[in-house]
Structure 1
């Protein structure tokens, strides 16, 4: 596919946190797909992994997950915030702080859509 069509961009949908103990995670997509960029979804309002609440296995801090992704050779190019169990005020505050700290787009995809990601990719990746 890549040899014949020479795409400018390939989007690969991944699953789960790299640190999710319930099974395979996105590391195989990053490595086998030779991904150079990752859009990470972070569940701000969730304390524990889904279906592992009884074990109290905590969701990693965003910064730790970003560092882990980068250790696989990919750059985090955007953060999507899972809006479950968080107020709009909490989400907006986290969005503002995180955008300033990481200098990448942070969006609420269900509330705002994904146009900021598309524009960032056009202006910074597909150049």
Structure 2
């Protein structure tokens, strides 16, 4: 796998984790809204206990998946940080802003104090160094 694909894969994982977290929060909110279930306390035995149990179980399963994603993200981030150690500080900073912090080119150019075209040049040089 080429380095840019690794970096983009990391960004995709972060995006998936963020969407999963939002989905969990949305489902929790829906389950505790008017007529919903209180997620914090398991219900006592009643007619709705199976449905409530299923809702809580599904939310819990999503949370487990989210925790797995966070673990995978941490592992990949460590791998990326190790890979980019060979870069110059400015190149490393740009790669971190672009792929770890998921910043756009405008934000990156402001943070490192160069134009967008120069950002692209630095980016390309960094990727070539990482590929070799």
Specify the structure having the higher radius of gyration (Cα): 2
TM-score, normalised relative to structure 2: 0.28
Higher relative contact order structure (alpha carbons within 8 Å, sequence separation ≥ 6): 2
Larger helix share, 1 or 2: 2
